Amino acid sequence: MSTDLRALLQSSLLPAMRVGDKDTVAVVRAALAAIANAEAVPVADDRPLTEGPVAGAAVGLGVTEAPRRELSEAEVRELVERERQERVHAAEESEAGGLGEYAARLRTQAAILGFLLERTA
């Protein structure tokens, strides 16, 4: 069963918030933020900031809209897998540093991402 991973992440957020599942909320928000950051397109704005009431300010309908990149499902999966791996690695380092409780929380978050990745495989 193949499902859109981004849609699954978004649909998982509200129920987790309702039941107070802080780990799921934190990890899903982080994954969605990583996806949104990857979709951002660098802006090259070479206009001089020397005119108008607010120098360089843009006015008009849609001026605050930024172009976005479309990520493939494979790219989204890769980002989420990277988020999962970062948590596993951080948990190992935290455990070695004597932060067992924090390491357990990171492992829980990694397991949540792993579960969501499996559901969309």
Which pLDDT does position 87 carry in this prediction? 97
Q: Which of 18-22, 36-40, 59-63, 92-96 has the lowest mean pLDDT?
A: 59-63
Chain-centre distance of CA 94, in angstroms?
22
Which pLDDT value is given to residue 64? 64
pLDDT score of 67 more than 80: no
Q: Considering only CA atoms, which of 117, 104, 102 is closest in space to residue 31?
A: 117
What CA–CA distances, in Å, run from 99 to 21, 70, 90, 105, 112?
21, 39, 11, 10, 20
Q: Which residues partner with 68 through β-bridges?
A: 40
What is the rounded average pLDDT of the residues 8-21?
96
Which of the residue ranges 10-19, 22-31, 53-62, 73-82 would you say has the lowest mean pLDDT?
53-62
Task: Tell me which residue of 30, 34, 31, 27 sits closest to 108, measured CA to CA.
Answer: 27
- Where along the chain do its domains lie? 5-41+69-119
**Other CB atoms within 10 Å distance of the CB of residue 21:** 16
Q: Which fold has domain 5-41+69-119?
A: Hypothetical Protein Yqey; Chain: A; domain1 (1.10.1510)
Check residue 121 and give its pLDDT.
Answer: 84
